[in-house]
Structure 1
Amino acid sequence: MYAISLGEDGAELRPLEPWQAEEFLAHMDRGRDFIGRHNGLPDVVRDLASSRAYLQGYAEKAAADTGRIHGIWSDGTLVGAVILRTMDVPQRTAEAGCWLEPSAVGKGLVTRAARLLIDWAVEERGIHRVEWWVSAANAPSIAVARRLGMTKEGVLRESYLYRGERHDMEIWSVLAPQWRAGTPAPNAS
């Protein structure tokens, strides 16, 4: 398996695969409450079987070229992940996402990992548009979208039912020419 350095702090980006279900579940258990504030993943990954099934789903997406999941390791411990939740190569669109457990917050890991994943999608798979869907209440994830040079395109009011409450979802995006130029989009608010 390969690992890509995320910088001098020893953090790495690696593929997450079904055989790592135990490690993935342990990671989810460490960050369950924190991750679950804005992300439904902790409600899906509850035990070893559901952890394996989640990772198997992404293995199938990778095989079909419709998505990817890569873990973020810090000091040898899985602390988060970045994903291409969807990837439509014929349409040249993808949706990226992320999460971290509390011990990894504030170190720039998600931004660095997301840059690598988006760069791969744009340069290797020809993706033209990468979207970032985020709860309007998730300020850290919105900050990542800004650091990635994405443009806020709009808000889907009360579009996401999560744990019995309706939440607004913001849609951010970056286009391949803008990504390659490394310049923030106009009106990146």
Structure 2
Amino acid sequence: MYAIPLGDDGAELRPLEPWQAEEFLAHIDRGREFIGQYNGLPDVVTDVASCRAFLRTYAEKAAADTGRMCGIRADGALVGAVFFRTMDVAQGTAEAGCWLEPSAAGRGLVTRGVRALIDWAVEERGIHRVEWWVASENAPSIAVARRLGMTKDGVSRESYLYRGKRHDMEIWSVLAPEWRAARRAS
């Protein structure tokens, strides 16, 4: 299995696959409330079978080249994930996302993981535009978009009904030429 190092602290990206459903469930259980603040995943993956089905969906997306998911590991433990919820190579667009359990927050793991994912998408798959959709109340996720050099495109008002409340969704994006220029400058 491959691993992509995320820096000198031993953190890395690795594939998340259906055979890892038990470990995935334990990870979600450790962060269920924290992850579920803005992400519906904890409401969907509640047992090993639902975890396996969710991971199978992303294995099928990877096989069809329509999405990707990588687990974030710190000290060998699964602590989060970065992914392309959608990816349309013909159109050159993708929507990135993430989650992290609370024990791993504040270490820059999501920013580093998404950076690696965008590098791959732009350089290997020819993706031109990467989007980041985030609830306006989700300050940590907005901070990730800013650290990645994304531009706020706008707000889709009250467009996301989640746990009985309507949320405004901000749309952030980065274009391949902007991404490459920023990477050269760093």
* TM-score calculated relative to the size of structure 1: 0.96
1:129 aligns with 2:165: no
The worse-fitting range, judged by mean Cα deviation, of 172-181 and 2-11 is 2-11
Q: Deviations over 1:147-175 (max 9, x none)?
A: 00000010000000000110000000000
Per the alignment, residue 161 of structure 2 pairs with 161
Per the alignment, residue 119 of structure 1 pairs with 119
Query: How many angstroms does 1:8 deviate by?
Result: 1.0
Per the alignment, residue 5 of structure 2 pairs with 5
Per the alignment, residue 92 of structure 1 pairs with 92
Query: How many angstroms does 1:4 deviate by?
Result: 1.0
Distance 1:6 1:123 in 2: 18
> What amino acid maps onto 2:136 in structure 1?
A
Which ranges in structure 2 are unaligned for 5 or more consecutive residues?
none
**Residue correspondences, number:** 183
Query: How many angstroms does 1:87 deviate by?
Result: 0.1
Spell out the pairing of 1:33-182 with structure 2 (5 A cutoff): 33-182=33-182
Distance 1:137 1:67 in 2: 26
> What amino acid maps onto 1:176 in structure 2?
A
Distance 1:55 1:135 in 2: 24
Distance 1:123 1:34 in 2: 33
Distance 2:143 2:24 in 1: 25
Distance 1:112 1:162 in 2: 28
What CA RMSD, in Å, does the superposition of the two structures yield over aligned residues?
0.6
Q: Secondary structure at the match of 1:2?
A: coil
Distance 2:128 2:5 in 1: 25
Distance 1:20 1:182 in 2: 35
> What amino acid maps onto 1:21 in structure 2?
A
Percent identity, aligned pairs only?
81
* TM-score calculated relative to the size of structure 2: 0.97
Q: Deviations over 1:37-86 (max 9, x none)?
A: 01000001100000000000000000000000000000110000000000
Query: How many angstroms does 1:176 deviate by?
Result: 0.2
